[in-house]
């Protein structure tokens, strides 16, 4: 087994009621695990076995790309939350958000809108380029901004499995509630504070 599923940095019921323990049990316990298990099977005895996960994502397609990117995306998603994290960004990330989107409130609105209007399954991303410029993008299915040279710093999963147990069809409500558990300390570090 080359890639192992990292343990969550919080208890399975710590994010409730925003994300329930039942959703964690399925989304982390079954979906994320399945992507990592399948990835390990697909790379066994191939040159991909010696690559970092990011390298696999940038050099694969089809089933391997889907499972590698979904493994990365889910690990990234679950590691940005905390029940008692920093509620708003500060420092140079905050300054860049204000400059790019007008305000933190406007940024959140645009990010939620991008997630709500993505048709089908996928991810909404906040990423930075090498100059620190910020971008909100939609990714279909397993798509990840790494393949376009951007550095992801925040993502919301908009596959139905991410929210259906807790919010049923109300994707916009799920997106809006996620801000309560995003730990901006982690996002600032990803941005490069
Ligand atoms: Mn998911």
102 CA from centroid of ligand 1 (Å): 30
Question: For residue 146, how many C-alpha atoms fall within 13 Å in the half-sphere facing its CB?
Answer: 22
> Residue 161 in contact with residue 26, Cβ under 8 Å?
yes
Phi-psi bin for 149: left (phi > 0), alpha (psi -120 to 50), beta?
left
126 CA from centroid of ligand 1 (Å): 17
Q: Does 193 have pLDDT greater than 70?
A: no
Average pLDDT for 92-109: 98
Q: Is the peptide bond before 113 cis (omega within 30 degrees of 0)?
A: no
21 CA from centroid of ligand 1 (Å): 15
* pLDDT tens for each residue of 105-115: 999 999 999 99
Average pLDDT for 163-168: 97
State percent of the chain over pLDDT 90.
99
Question: How many C-beta neighbours within 10 Å does residue 104 have?
Answer: 15
* pLDDT tens for each residue of 35-68: 999 999 999 999 999 999 999 999 999 999 999 9
122 CA from centroid of ligand 1 (Å): 8
163 CA from centroid of ligand 1 (Å): 9
149 CA from centroid of ligand 1 (Å): 23
159 CA from centroid of ligand 1 (Å): 6
Among 188, 11, 191, CA closest to 86: 188
Give the whole-angstrom CA distance, residue 35 versus residue 106.
34
CATH class of segment(s) 91-192: alpha beta
Give the whole-angstrom CA distance, residue 95 versus residue 183.
17
64 CA from centroid of ligand 1 (Å): 17
Average pLDDT for 12-21: 98
> Residue 139 in contact with residue 122, Cβ under 8 Å?
yes
193 CA from centroid of ligand 1 (Å): 28
pLDDT at residue 161, as a whole number: 97
Among 101, 74, 60, CA closest to 155: 74
91 CA from centroid of ligand 1 (Å): 30
pLDDT at residue 148, as a whole number: 97
pLDDT at residue 81, as a whole number: 98
* pLDDT tens for each residue of 66-94: 999 999 999 999 999 999 999 999 999 99
74 CA from centroid of ligand 1 (Å): 6
Higher pLDDT: 10 or 1? It is 10
Average pLDDT for 136-165: 98
How sure is the predictor about 177, in pLDDT bands with cuts at 50, 70 and 90?
very high
Residue identified by tokens 């696999």 is: 56
161 CA from centroid of ligand 1 (Å): 6
- Domain-wise residue ranges, the chain: 21-78, 91-192
pLDDT at residue 1, as a whole number: 66
Does the pTM surpass 0.95? The reply is yes
Tokens for 186, please give them. 């982690």
| CA angle (23, 160, 61) in 5-degree steps | 110
Fold annotation for 21-78:
Helix Hairpins (1.10.287)
> Residue 150 in contact with residue 130, Cβ under 8 Å?
no
162 CA from centroid of ligand 1 (Å): 5
* Helix-helix angle 91-101:104-117, to 10 degrees: 70
Cα R_g (the chain), whole angstroms: 16
């Amino acid at each position: 087994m080359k890639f192992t599923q990292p343990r969550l940095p919080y208890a399975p019921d710590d994010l409730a009621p925003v994300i329930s323990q039942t959703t964690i049990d399925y989304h982390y316990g079954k979906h994320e695990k399945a992507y990592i298990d399948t990835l390990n099977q697909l790379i066994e005895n191939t040159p991909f076995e010696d690559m970092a996960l990011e390298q696999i994502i940038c050099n694969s397609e089809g089933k391997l790309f889907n499972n590698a990117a979904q493994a990365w995306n889910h690990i990234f998603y679950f590691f940005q939350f905390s029940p008692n994290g920093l509620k708003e960004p500060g420092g140079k990330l905050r300054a860049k958000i204000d400059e790019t989107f007008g305000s933190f409130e406007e940024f959140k609105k645009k990010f939620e809108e991008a997630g709500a209007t993505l048709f089908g399954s996928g991810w909404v991303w906040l990423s930075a380029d090498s100059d620190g410029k910020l971008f909100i993008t939609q990714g279909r299915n397993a798509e990840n901004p790494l393949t376009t040279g951007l550095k992801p710093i925040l993502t919301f999963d908009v596959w139905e499995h991410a929210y259906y147990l807790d919010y049923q069809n109300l994707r916009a409500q799920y997106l809006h509630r996620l801000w309560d558990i995003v730990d901006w300390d982690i996002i600032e570090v990803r941005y490069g504070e």
